[in-house]
Amino acid sequence: IYHTAEDEQRPKYYCLDFFRYPSGDGLHVGHCRNYVPTDVISRYKRMRGFNVLHPMGWDAFGEPAEQFAIHHNVHPRVTTDQNTANFRHQYRIIGASYDWSREIDTSQPEYYRWTQWFFLKMYQRGLVYRDTNWQWWCPTCQTTLSSHEAAGGTCWRGHPGVTRREIPAWYFRITAYADELLSGLDEIDWPEPIKAMQRAWIGRSEGCEIIFTTEQGEAIPVFTTRPDTIYGVTFFALAPEHPWVHKFTSPEQQAPVERYLQAAVMSSDRERSREERPKTGVFTGGYVIHPLTQQPIPVWVADYVLTTYGSGAVMGVPAHDGRDHAFAEQYAIPIRSVVKADGEGGDQTQTAYPGMGQMIHSGIYDGMENTQAAAQIALDLQRRGAGGTKVAYKMRDWLISRQRYWGTPIPIVHCPRCGVVPVPEDQLPVVLPAMEQFKPDGSGQSPLARTAEFAHVACPTCGTPAHREYDTMGGFACSAWYYTRFASPHFEHGPFEPQALRKWLPVDLYVGGAEHAVLHLLYARFWTKVMADEGLVPFREPFTQLKNQGQLLAPDGQRMSKSRGNVITPDAMVAEYGADALRLYEMFMAPFDQDIQWNLDGIQGMRRFLVKVWRLYQDTWQPATVYQGSDPQLERARHKTMRLVSERIDGFRFNTMVSALMEFVNLLSERARQGTWHTVEYQESLETLLVIMAPAAPHICEELWMLTGHNYSVHQQIWPNWDEELARSANLEI
């Protein structure tokens, strides 16, 4: 017997599922494609001698939970507690072996006081700031969104019609870690598509900053990857949100510019940067001065220029940039070629030429290769104080303010005398008041502003009557560090107990859906790096290995959803076929990461398989010690099966792990049919099968383990070792 209690001698294994937000819908069988394999791995690792941490908790704060509560007109505290009870029940019936003594709930003050504590740490490190800006605004959720959450013009919850508002909000300076977020990807074992999405999201681009000047001599920089095209600049374009638009706008152009601005800011960045989108803009009436020719260049406003990238302004080079070309054609702006392709005349202006070649119409740089000229021009500009090399990132800072009730209150006080004052650490948590009227009222302000007891406080510094920050943090703040809390979930003197943290973290295996590629998974990496710089954790990447399960579609080929009425619940399947049949089918249906459709025949087949296993033990298990004959072939098959099952669990090949078990059972059935089951090899095989099938089908294996006279529990057995020689030479005859 093997003791699975924690033991300091053993290595650790931290196997984490994405924790859940406690929606009212509960689990459907699609979710089990995540939870069953991780449970199998956890059980397997325990039997292989690891201390395994396999916890579950609730991502309870945030818009999904609050939207659900609003929809059902019940307080989110009530719905959250109801829903978590349902989830807990569902996890239990599918046999998930979570350590429920470590359950956490991000909406409890014992948890969110540490979310607030981290906010203060970041504040001290200069990683938190407040800024008034154009924010993404979801009219359905009635709250601001981060650019991540608003990508594509749809709210991350699926609501269309995301627009923009100009409001003050709090940000985490995630861009300070852009380079490390990029380079860290090389060290972790994550699916390549997720890494690619993070790289694209960070969007590092090496180029050059070039400083143009206003007619009054003020500097206005642009970011360009093509300084070699500087003599081809025929216009200058500002993003509609650029703060200097008004400075350039002449009295005559006032009205058209205003009209343009109002329309422009409402479309999303992605829409605005679509290559095929017709280019629009308006002339401001103003000019900038070209840094090398000193010529005046007309300043336009154009919405294909994003305020969120580079400096929010571009030097327009229609001869060599596709978008600038389309724009110039639209507004009859001159097109001036400055790089010619080999063997070309160079002055064609029908389309943009983005390629390499020889410099023309570029003063002293004429005749040079353009790549060489680019470096030279960057250098010359730098000498004159008119620019230099620069790296730009597509990624923006992380907007965390939400004008919503159901979130972690931001621990800040606004004092008429002292300004912004962070709440002192010893006054945490700032408790979310229990409000009956928690719904947004359409004012755009957080409901917390309406609670006098919460809102009014004495300034922690000077005692003057002041008011609290009303915004709460978006739910992604809570989930950015939860994986550390599981190490010591009840610790009261910090977010985690340092010893426990060192023992369990980082997470060895993290499993969940691919839809979190750039939200949660990027935020958590950022938070970890801050924790590391704060000296709190001895690692810089939280999740050593990441796996994304494939999607399970309904039998009609659609996504399972309540609204479509095609949801299949584990509750119904467990009631009808048993948890083990469900588990085996979840693994057997397809490779772990492949999308697949639910098929009732599949689970019925698994049920039949388990009945067959059951009969085998009823009919042929022999407690006596009198054996007849020997069966070397079966012995080889036994060793081979031990090896295959182990390798396939390790390699995330759960479907073929199940087929290895099935082949072995077929072999045993054959012996049973032929009456050649009185051998010691056969009886040993029956015993081995229960042990190696226990992670996949824990209930039936435990039951048969007991019925065949063993002591509790099959799950505390040592995983068997196989003989490589025997395992190799086996030929399975089916």
For ligand ANZ, the binding residues (CB under 6 A) are 205, 223-226, 229, 239, 305-306, 309-310, 312, 314-315, 317, 320-321, 354, 392
Shortest distance (Å) from residue 460 CB to Zn ion:
8
Pairing of strands 543-548, 507-512: parallel
Shortest distance (Å) from residue 203 CB to ligand ANZ:
7
225 or 461, CB closer to Zn ion? 461
Binding part of the chain for Zn ion, among 26-34, 170-178, 260-268, 464-472 by CB under 5 A, reads 464-472
DSSP state of 20: B
Which does residue 486 touch among Zn ion, ligand ANZ, none (CB within 5 to 8 A, set by kind)? Answer: none
127 or 333, CB closer to ligand ANZ? 333
Which does residue 462 touch among ligand ANZ, Zn ion, none (CB within 5 to 8 A, set by kind)? Answer: Zn ion
Task: Note whether 615 and 709 are within 8 A (CB).
Answer: no
Shortest distance (Å) from residue 243 CB to ligand ANZ:
14
- For 549-640, where are the E strands, in sequence order? 552-553, 596-597
15 or 359, CB closer to ligand ANZ? 359
Which does residue 315 touch among Zn ion, ligand ANZ, none (CB within 5 to 8 A, set by kind)? Answer: ligand ANZ
Binding part of the chain for Zn ion, among 32-40, 260-268, 331-339, 414-422 by CB under 5 A, reads 414-422
Shortest distance (Å) from residue 316 CB to ligand ANZ:
7
205 or 214, CB closer to ligand ANZ? 205
Residue 400 Cα to chain centre, angstroms: 16
Tokens representing residue 278 in the block = 């017709």
> Looking at 391, 462, 706, 707, which residue binds Zn ion (CB under 5 A)?
462
342 or 601, CB closer to ligand ANZ? 342
> Looking at 188, 306, 341, 418, which residue binds Zn ion (CB under 5 A)?
418
Shortest distance (Å) from residue 310 CB to ligand ANZ:
3
Residue 309 Cα to chain centre, angstroms: 22
226 or 468, CB closer to ligand ANZ? 226
Binding part of the chain for Zn ion, among 311-319, 417-425, 435-443, 640-648 by CB under 5 A, reads 417-425
DSSP string, 618-647: HHH---S----S--HHHHHHHHHHHHHHHH
44 or 353, CB closer to ligand ANZ? 353
- 564 φ, ψ (degrees, to nearest 5): -80, -15
Shortest distance (Å) from residue 497 CB to ligand ANZ:
45
415 or 704, CB closer to Zn ion? 415
Which does residue 415 touch among ligand ANZ, Zn ion, none (CB within 5 to 8 A, set by kind)? Answer: Zn ion
568 SS3 class: coil
Which does residue 322 touch among Zn ion, ligand ANZ, none (CB within 5 to 8 A, set by kind)? Answer: none
Q: How far apart are the C-alpha atoms of 79 and 628, rounded to whole Å?
A: 63
DSSP state of 559: B
Which does residue 320 touch among ligand ANZ, Zn ion, none (CB within 5 to 8 A, set by kind)? Answer: ligand ANZ
- For 367-411, where are the E strands, in sequence order? 387-393, 398-399, 401-402, 408-409
| Strands ordered across the beta sheet of 472-473 | 401-402, 472-473, 408-409
Shortest distance (Å) from residue 278 CB to ligand ANZ:
16
Q: How far apart are the C-alpha atoms of 206 and 198, rounded to whole Å?
A: 17
DSSP state of 369: B
Task: Note whether 358 and 310 are within 8 A (CB).
Answer: no
Task: Indicate the helix (H) or strand (E) that contains 314.
Answer: strand 313-316
Binding part of the chain for Zn ion, among 262-270, 387-395, 410-418, 648-656 by CB under 5 A, reads 410-418
275 or 436, CB closer to ligand ANZ? 275
229 or 688, CB closer to ligand ANZ? 229
Residue 461, interface with Zn ion (CB under 5 A)? yes
Residue 415, interface with Zn ion (CB under 5 A)? yes
Q: How far apart are the C-alpha atoms of 296 and 134, rounded to whole Å?
A: 30
Q: How far apart are the C-alpha atoms of 153 and 155, rounded to whole Å?
A: 7
Measured at the CA of 716, the angle between CA 722 and CA 634, to 5 degrees, comes to: 30
Radius of gyration of the chain (CA): 32
Which does residue 459 touch among ligand ANZ, Zn ion, none (CB within 5 to 8 A, set by kind)? Answer: Zn ion
DSSP state of 516: G
CA distance to 6, 110, 173, 177, per residue, from 129 (Å): 43, 25, 8, 15
280 or 633, CB closer to ligand ANZ? 280
Q: Where along the sequence are the contacts to Zn ion (CB under 5 A)?
A: 415, 417-418, 459, 461-462, 464
